Structure 1
Amino acid sequence: MHAQTGAASPNDYPTIDRVLFVQACLREHPGAPFEMINKCSCAVDALAREIRHEDYINLSTASNASTIGGERGSYLRDVESVQVEVRKYRATVRKAKEGCFIRFD
């Protein structure tokens, strides 16, 4: 048994954020439940190695919010600097998923 020392790593995402990512991944990529839970868990682990948790929260929020239709969504869609970061975030998520053998049909 290993004793934990010091503060949590900045990439140690809280369980709730990992669960929410896996649930969203399962909705987006239906398949055999056990297989997809493992693949989606792999993807969130890979993502956590690439993006600090605080940045993940900001980027995933911006990514989700920019899909809102109408004026509310345009608040983020119309800011090019935000959209650049959202595109980078989405590419990182896609790379993490592809690295865990999640197919995009």
Structure 2
Amino acid sequence: MTSPCRVLLMLACCALTVAPAVSSAQDAATSGANAAQGYNYPTQGRVEYVLGCMDDNGHDFANVYKCSCAIDHIAAALPYDDYVEQSTFAKYATLGGEGGGEFRVDLARAQSKKFLTLQAEAYRACGVHKTAAVATPAASANK
């Protein structure tokens, strides 16, 4: 992805997560409404997810929106700390050797399964189509 695309993506994600400051009284009054809308994830976490999603599914412009939709869907259902834990277990579930043993215990498998199920639902809801292999510019140049 070119540098201008990354800047555009970061600006788009920032625009989605920036909210005006509210007073403590207003914050307390609206906390119930915010819980219904989902959890607030840090911009960096959202951007990392979208970039990873695009790495897996293609760097076309439509995937910026589809992958942003997917993280919004996940954020609506899962607190950020749980997201970090579950996505980490899912990411390293196939890590081999002794170092990967921690990611193969029952708790890790359960957390990984929860995340992958939620992500599959988000992909389905947002129209992200998992590709078997994404063509890279280097692979295209070798043909």
Query: TM range, normalised to the smaller chain?
Result: 0.7 to 0.9
1:30 to 46, 54, 58: 58
Question: Deviation string for 1:22-64 (max 9, x for gaps)?
Answer: 0110011015x21000000000000000111110011111212
TM-score normalised by structure 1 residue count: 0.85
Structure 1 unaligned segments of length 5 or more: list them: none
**C-alpha separation in 1, matches of 2:22 and 2:88:** 30
Q: Does 1:50 align with 2:77?
A: yes
Matches for 1:2-81 after TM superposition, within 5 Å: 3-5=21-23, 6=27, 11-30=39-58, 33-77=60-104, 79-81=105-107
Q: TM-score, normalised by structure 2?
A: 0.64
Higher relative contact order (CA 8 A, sep 6+): 1
**Residue equivalent to 2:112:** 86
In structure 1, the partner of 2:122 is 96
RMSD: 2.2
Q: Percent identity?
A: 30
Count of residue pairs the alignment pairs up: 103
Runs of 4+ with deviation above 4 angstroms: 7-10
Segments of 5+ residues of structure 2 without an aligned counterpart are: 1-18, 132-143
